[in-house]
Amino acid sequence: MCGRYASFRQAQDLADAFDVEEVTAAADEVAANYNIAPTDGIRIIVDRAHQDVTESVQADDGVRREMHLARWGLVPAWAKDPSIGSRMINARSESLAEKSAFRKPLQTKRCIVVADGYYEWQKREVPGAKKPVKTPFFIHPTDDAPIAFAGLYSWWPDPTKGADDPDRWLLSATIITSPARDGLEKLHDREPTILTRKNVETWLDPTLKDPGEAMAILGLPAPALSWYEVSTAVNSVRNEGPELIRAV
């Protein structure tokens, strides 16, 4: 799974790295965070088809790449309240097409969640201890480029707010996970699905509607990753700062 990660680059740096044309004010104002947890605000990037209406003539304005701020934990449009999102911070790649919460977003609402690295806890058996000891590791791209987690997003209409209320719509997202590989299985049996720059283009393409083709992208080779042990200070969501990613 992916339950904690770090994102400390400036919004414009991420926009430059992923060719983003428009950064919303909310996404631009997010401060660096070395210990992002479920239900926190997270930056996502989407490709959206736009139309420009000028002098009553509707013209296709093409596809625009945008960066938005979303809540971590997908809230389906049909949910009664947003609390369900806390149980949907991750989506297993193997069952995306089967789950009602993810089936439609897989076809029409794919995104990437941008990050600099993430944390995973390795369980170690210690003689005499009743429970395994969990050791945190920081995992990041070997070339230190920003990460593109494959994700899905959703807009949820708050039934307690009027149709003209700008706060009526909640944007939320989930990070897709896959079986761990390339040595990461020594830390945990699953890992967040990370896309290469080439695969980001295909994943975000709004003309791609076939769920099978979309899922095939998730099985393609991922960027090389490196990892090292970090302080157990990251175990608490109350702790935050660059010291959390320093090797011990």
pLDDT at position 166: 84
- Name the phi and psi angles at 11, rounded to 5: -55, -40
pLDDT at position 57: 41
Half-sphere exposure for 55 (CA within 13 Å, toward CB) = 0
The 10s digit of each residue's pLDDT in 12-31 is 999 999 999 999 999 999 99
* Catalytic member of 2, 66, 111, 191: 2
The 10s digit of each residue's pLDDT in 37-49 is 999 999 999 999 8
Q: Is residue 239 part of a domain?
A: no
Query: Is 111 a catalytic site residue?
Result: no
Contact present, 40 and 89 (Cβ < 8 Å): no
Query: Is 2 a catalytic site residue?
Result: yes
pTM, full prediction: 0.94
Domain that holds residue 194: 5-50+59-122+141-225
DSSP helix/strand/coil, 185: helix
Q: Which residues of the chain have pLDDT under 50?
A: 52-59
Closest CA to 11 of 22, 27, 35: 27
* Catalytic member of 66, 111, 120, 191: 120
pLDDT at position 61: 61
pLDDT at position 158: 93
Closest CA to 79 of 151, 152, 153, 155: 155
We report the CATH number of the domain holding residue 106 as 3.90.1680.10
pLDDT at position 176: 98
Calpha distance 211→214 (Å, rounded)? 5
Q: What is the count of structural domains for the chain?
A: 1
Calpha distance 184→180 (Å, rounded)? 6
Q: Is residue 132 part of a domain?
A: no
